[in-house]
Amino acid sequence: STLEQMNALVKKMETYLSGFKEIRQFQTSVESARRASIHIYFTKEHQKSGFPYTLKANMISKALQLGGGDWSIYGLQDQGFSNNVRENAG
């Protein structure tokens, strides 16, 4: 992919995240055409609620819907998600 394609893909997730009032802030970094990250910070009243877990599940769903790249979603001290599929020759 190109840097512009990566940026466009990440912007779609940013647009999705900006609809949640429970998110205090998110920080996005598009490091290259192959790597980007989004760090999410919740409001104090929602940090220890069930919302972060609900958002994580919703983000997994959104990542599958968006496609266009290998998504990894992790945090919250539980198992992460990755749709990275690689085949290795034996």
Mean pLDDT, residues 1-13 taken together: 93
Comparing 13 with 84, which gets the higher pLDDT? 13
Which amino acid, one-letter code, is at 29? S
Q: What is the pLDDT of residue 86?
A: 55
pLDDT confidence band for 89 (50 / 70 / 90): low
Q: How far is CA 10 from the centre of its chain?
A: 8
Tell me: pLDDT of 63 over 80: yes
Mean pLDDT, residues 62-82 taken together: 84
Q: Kindly report which listed range (1-5, 8-12, 48-52) carries the lowest average pLDDT score.
A: 1-5
